[in-house]
């Protein structure tokens, strides 16, 4: 079965000249720690994940009893947009938060997420049960829906042919969507079940929501084209199939010799923008590609368009600032973070 899973491409980060973020890490007083955490979070928001992780490691080495420092480091390694993230490091960091700050719902949620991504299902399930089974549950909103979706996904991955497990998974997804109707991963997973059950019309209603919530998830586009083919809506199916094809070309075999070169990658990103303009994460990647290619005016125009769509977006603002530096003759600091296309197991 096609899972609404997070897939990744390659990431290479270039650091700005001068002192590294790790060397700038603050340590000591609570105010110093707060400043360090704020710096890690700012780098994270700009998609500068390598720098954020370096600073986070320095911060926790100097402040081993700071739950806030460990939390900031875990957040970086839980990012669905960082291809080099380490789920095991996110788990170990959150276990330090658990040790220092107690058994809080958000702490358990992040540990469960990291364990799910590592396929540590036997360890993950009791935490998910602890979070969603009490009356009232220990979470609400998106976090509640996400944990139910993870539990449904575990059941389907482990016991896909077991009727009781499938029924339990469906109950979890229905419950998640009763709480948060626009939760994209739950919609996508329920649509997959409906397609498996031969109910494309019902699946389509879920997929229409999932595509809006997760415009860059190639698994959702694959399911959408399969659903539309069954409904004999070929023209619409072809569009989603082409989006899926371009996303595959961008994300598959990125670390190998047949990965697209910079010029091909830029052409693919331009095509994807035309096909799927709501995929803002890929358009952000296009901004970076334009800067790398020396197409500074095009990069600035794209950054401005993204900031118009998503006011104050730190990652887009950072690239705009770097484009202006490049236009002035300076070497830009490009995070080269290639966004993932889904939120399965998302940390936040």
Per residue in 202-235, pLDDT tens? 999 999 999 999 999 999 999 999 999 999 999 9
Give residue 15's pLDDT band: very low, low, confident or very high (50, 70, 90).
very low
Give residue 23's pLDDT band: very low, low, confident or very high (50, 70, 90).
very low
Give the tens place of pLDDT for each residue, 77-94.
Answer: 999 989 889 999 999 999
Sign of dihedral through CA atoms 222, 227, 228, 229? Answer: positive
For residues 68 and 115, what is the distance between their CA atoms, to the nearest angstrom? Answer: 21
Long-range contacts from 227-231, C-beta under 8 angstroms, 24+ separation: 227/191, 227/195, 227/200, 227/203, 228/204, 230/195, 230/200, 231/200, 231/201, 231/204
Give start and end residues of each alpha helix (H) in 48-134: 49-62, 67-77, 87-101, 105-117, 121-132
Does residue 221 contact residue 248 with C-beta atoms inside 8 Å?
no
- Average pLDDT of every residue of the chain: 89
What integer pLDDT is reported at residue 261 of this predicted model? 86
Give the tens place of pLDDT for each residue, 162-211.
Answer: 999 999 999 999 999 999 999 999 999 999 999 999 999 999 999 999 99
CA distance readout (Å), 106 to 86, 143, 147, 254, 289: 19, 8, 11, 34, 36
87-101 vs 105-117: helix crossing angle, rounded to 10: 160
Give the tens place of pLDDT for each residue, 282-323.
Answer: 999 999 999 999 999 999 999 999 999 999 999 999 999 999
Does residue 156 contact residue 191 with C-beta atoms inside 8 Å?
no
Residue 197 DSSP symbol: T
Does residue 320 contact residue 300 with C-beta atoms inside 8 Å?
yes
């Amino acid at each position: 079965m096609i899972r609404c899973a997070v897939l990744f491409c390659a990431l290479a980060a270039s650091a700005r000249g001068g002192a590294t973020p790790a060397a700038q890490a603050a340590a000591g007083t609570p105010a110093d720690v707060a400043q360090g955490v704020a710096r890690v979070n700012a780098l994270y928001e700009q998609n500068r994940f390598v720098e954020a992780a370096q600073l986070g490691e320095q911060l926790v080495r100097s402040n081993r009893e700071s739950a806030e420092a460990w939390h900031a480091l875990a957040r970086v390694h839980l990012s669905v947009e960082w291809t080099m993230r380490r789920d095991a490091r996110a788990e170990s960091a959150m276990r330090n938060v658990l040790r220092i700050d107690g058994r809080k719902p958000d702490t358990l949620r992040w540990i469960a997420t990291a364990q799910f991504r590592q396929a540590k299902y036997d360890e993950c399930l009791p935490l998910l049960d602890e979070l969603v089974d009490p009356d009232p549950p220990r979470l609400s909103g998106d976090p509640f829906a996400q944990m139910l979706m993870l539990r449904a996904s575990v059941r389907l991955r482990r016991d896909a042919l077991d009727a009781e497990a499938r029924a339990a998974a469906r109950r979890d997804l229905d419950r998640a969507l009763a709480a948060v109707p626009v939760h994209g991963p739950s919609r996508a997973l329920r649509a997959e079940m409906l397609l498996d059950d031969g109910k494309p019309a019902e699946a389509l209603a879920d997929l229409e929501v999932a595509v809006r919530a997760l415009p860059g998830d190639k698994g959702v586009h694959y399911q959408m084209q399969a659903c539309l083919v069954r409904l004999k809506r070929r023209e619409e199916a072809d569009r989603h199939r082409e989006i899926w094809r371009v996303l595959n070309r961008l994300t598959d075999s990125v670390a190998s010799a047949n990965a697209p070169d910079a010029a091909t990658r830029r052409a693919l990103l331009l095509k994807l923008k035309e096909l799927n303009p709501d995929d803002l994460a890929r358009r952000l990647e296009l901004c970076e590609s334009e800067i790398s290619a020396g197409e500074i005016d095009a990069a600035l125009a794209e950054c401005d368009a993204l900031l118009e769509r998503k006011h104050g977006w730190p990652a887009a603002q950072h690239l705009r600032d770097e484009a202006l530096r490049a236009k002035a003759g300076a070497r830009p600091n490009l995070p080269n973070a290639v966004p993932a296309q889904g939120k399965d197991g998302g940390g936040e």
